Structures are given as structure tokens and as C-alpha cells.
């Protein structure tokens, strides 16, 4: 492994992220084909059920360069698949095209793959290198690998606080702390999430839409957790026609007048509400979940260790009083600024 390999692997990562919000529950993957230091083909996984990154990279090669494949290196951010589902296995494509060297950053932990793709290539005589920019590769594929190994969505917590750590006023009314650029960034994060969740108190206090309106791309499926049955049917999440999943305690009476866009899930007697909810999102192939609040809901996920990443926006303004924001049990791994706001990035499991 050298800087040469790292240079082209970084390009794979950049390509992979172009698929953000479109590939789930599949991973984001980028691929680059290099001949004697020149990129002759590149591609990324553009959408679920469509061609994988390796296929798009091979297809992008100009006709006059096709003969170079048999003396080129394929760089790919994640292990080539070795199973036939929506598309044929990419290992078969690599062998058919006679690509002699493959460089991979991370292993795909999907059952049926999980190293078998690399073994197949090696047994066929392909020179395989694994672990180039390993930490970055693991971070890129973490959502997919969490989904297929944990049988639950990758969980992202997102919340804002004032400069002195206030989350909301004592009366729980809506308080907008961060500026407009941060709001647009939040909508970008929404466009990259499969689902978005709030608790009943937040739904009542803020009446949020929970859709992506300020960035390109889709809106996440909305998820509400209602254990008391005090959500009126006139809320925006019930009345605007966008898909919504409503999880309710089993003893609550049914809600009448809800449109077909709202799907109700009675939580079985004795089941842990959050864990049941996550199991159903997994069954529905919703592989990433953004939890936006409120305080009680966020603390519940934190206390149960049911989170993978947290994005905390801290405003430059102070609030004289109010309810304190949730506390995360470890320090941020990265901090950025956006105008007068600070964004702290937390990961529950360190990646090395």
C-alpha cells in the first residue's frame, strides 16, 4: 500500500458519496479503474436495484481503452459483492473482464459476502489488497454494515442547543436556535436518511413536517412514537399525504380519519417500544434512522445505547433558562463551524 493507492481510493470515496440518499438499503460505493497511473473508467452505485459501482466503472471505459482492462487495477471502496440478488455478482464481472488487481478499503459484512468475494478473486489469481484508507472506508460503509449485522437501522441523533446547553424552553414551545444555513444542512441530512423519528411531545409542540424542503433529493419516511394516545389527526405528519409510520401503545384506542399514507403499528404487549420499532424498520428495509427529538426520546436512545452517530448543532446565542439538552457519554471526534453555529460529530464506536 502506498500513496498511489490512497490517492485513487480517495477518489472512490468521493464518487461513492454521490449516491447518498439514493442507494439504501445498499451501501454507497465508488469504483475507479486505473492503467499506469491514468483513470480509464470510474463509476458509483447510483440507486438501489441499479448497477453497482464496478459495473458502471467498466461501462464508462472508452472503446479504445477496453483492451487495457487486462492490465489495470480496480479500486473500490467496498468489497465486490459475491451474491446474485438484484444484480449479478461483481466478482464475476471482474473475472470475466480479466482485471488482474483489485484494491479494496473495507469488507462488506452482508451475509453471503463478508470476505467471500475477496476469497473468490484470490483463488482465481487476482492480486487483492484490502485496507487502504481503512478508517475512512469503514466510516463510509458503517451504515450498511450496521444494518446487516445488527438487524436494525443505523441510528443518527440530531439536535440543536444554545451556547449554554439549552434545548427547549420550560414550557416546551418551539425554539429555533440555529441560523438558516444550518437549517438547510439539516434538510440535506434528511435527504440522506431512510426514516426520521420524533416522539409524541415534539409532534404536539412543534407540529413539524419532517420533510426535505430545502435541499435536493427525497424526504425520509416519517416515524412517530406515541405511547399515550394524545396525537390529534390534524397534525401535518398525518394530513399532508407523505408516508408516515405511527407506533402506538397496545392499549390505546384506534385513531379514525387517518389517510392511507399513515400506517399504524400497535406495539405488542410487553415489547420494548424502541426495540420493536427498530425491528419493524429493519423489516421494511429502512436502513438509516434520524432521531430529531424531543429530549425524552433522545435520552431514551442514548441511555439504551441505541445510537451510532450524533450531530449536535450549538448556536452562538445564549438562553436565560430552559431544559438542558441531552448529554452524550463521550467527546466529539470532529467539530466544524457554519456561520455562528458549531457542529459536533459524535460516534458511539471508535473506528481505527
Catalytic residue numbers read: 54
For residues 106 and 129, give the distance between their C-alpha atoms in angstroms, rounded to a whole number.
10
Whether the CB-CB separation of 64 and 94 falls below 8 Å is answered with no
Q: Are 288 and 156 in contact (CB under 8 A)?
A: yes
Sequence-distant (≥ 6) Cβ neighbours of residue 3 within 8 angstroms: none
CA atoms within 13 A on the CB side of 225: 23
Q: Is 265 exposed, middle or buried (0-12, 13-18, 19+ CB in 10 A)?
A: middle
Tally of helices (H runs) and strands (E runs) in the chain:
10, 16
Given its phi and psi angles, is residue 133 left (phi above 0), alpha (psi -120 to 50 degrees) or beta? left
Amino acid at each position: 500500500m502506498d500513496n498511489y493507492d490512497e490517492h485513487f481510493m480517495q477518489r472512490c470515496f468521493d464518487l461513492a458519496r454521490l449516491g447518498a440518499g439514493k442507494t439504501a438499503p445498499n451501501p454507497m460505493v465508488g469504483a475507479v479503474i486505473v492503467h499506469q497511473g491514468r483513470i480509464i473508467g470510474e463509476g458509483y452505485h447510483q440507486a438501489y436495484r441499479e448497477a453497482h459501482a464496478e459495473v458502471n466503472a467498466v461501462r464508462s471505459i472508452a472503446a479504445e481503452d477496453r483492451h487495457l482492462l487486462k492490465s489495470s487495477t480496480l479500486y473500490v471502496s467496498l468489497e465486490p459483492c459475491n451474491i446474485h440478488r438484484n444484480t449479478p455478482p461483481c466478482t464475476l464481472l471482474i473475472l470475466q473482464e480479466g482485471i488482474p488487481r483489485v484494491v479494496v478499503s473495507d469488507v462488506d459484512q452482508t451475509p453471503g459476502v463478508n470476505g467471500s468475494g475477496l476469497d473468490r478473486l484470490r483463488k482465481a489469481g487476482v492480486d487483492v489488497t484490502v485496507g487502504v484508507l481503512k478508517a475512512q472506508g469503514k466510516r463510509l460503509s458503517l451504515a450498511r454494515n450496521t444494518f446487516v449485522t445488527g438487524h436494525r437501522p443505523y441510528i443518527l441523533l440530531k439536535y440543536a442547543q444554545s451556547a449554554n446547553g439549552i434545548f427547549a424552553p420550560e414550557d416546551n414551545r418551539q425554539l429555533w436556535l440555529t441560523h438558516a444555513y444550518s437549517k438547510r444542512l439539516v434538510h440535506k441530512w434528511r435527504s440522506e436518511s431512510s426514516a426520521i423519528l420524533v416522539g409524541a411531545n415534539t409532534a404536539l409542540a412543534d407540529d413539524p413536517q419532517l420533510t426535505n424542503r430545502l435541499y435536493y433529493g427525497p424526504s425520509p419516511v416519517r416515524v412517530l412514537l406515541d405511547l399515550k394516545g394524545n396525537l390529534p389527526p390534524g397534525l401535518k405528519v398525518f394530513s399532508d399525504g407523505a408516508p408516515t409510520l405511527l407506533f402506538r401503545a397496545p392499549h390505546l384506542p384506534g385513531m379514525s380519519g387517518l389517510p392511507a399514507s399513515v400506517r399504524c403499528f400497535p406495539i405488542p404487549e410487553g415489547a420494548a417500544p424502541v426495540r420493536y420499532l427498530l425491528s419493524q424498520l429493519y423489516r421494511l428495509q429502512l436502513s438509516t434512522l434520524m432521531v430529531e427529538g424531543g429530549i425524552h426520546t433522545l435520552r431514551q436512545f442514548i441511555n439504551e445505547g441505541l445510537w451510532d452517530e450524533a450531530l449536535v448543532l450549538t448556536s452562538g446565542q445564549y438562553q436565560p433558562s430552559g431544559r438542558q439538552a441531552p448529554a452524550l457519554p463521550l467527546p466529539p471526534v470532529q467539530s466544524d463551524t457554519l456561520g455562528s453555529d458549531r457542529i459536533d460529530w459524535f460516534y458511539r464506536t471508535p473506528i481505527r
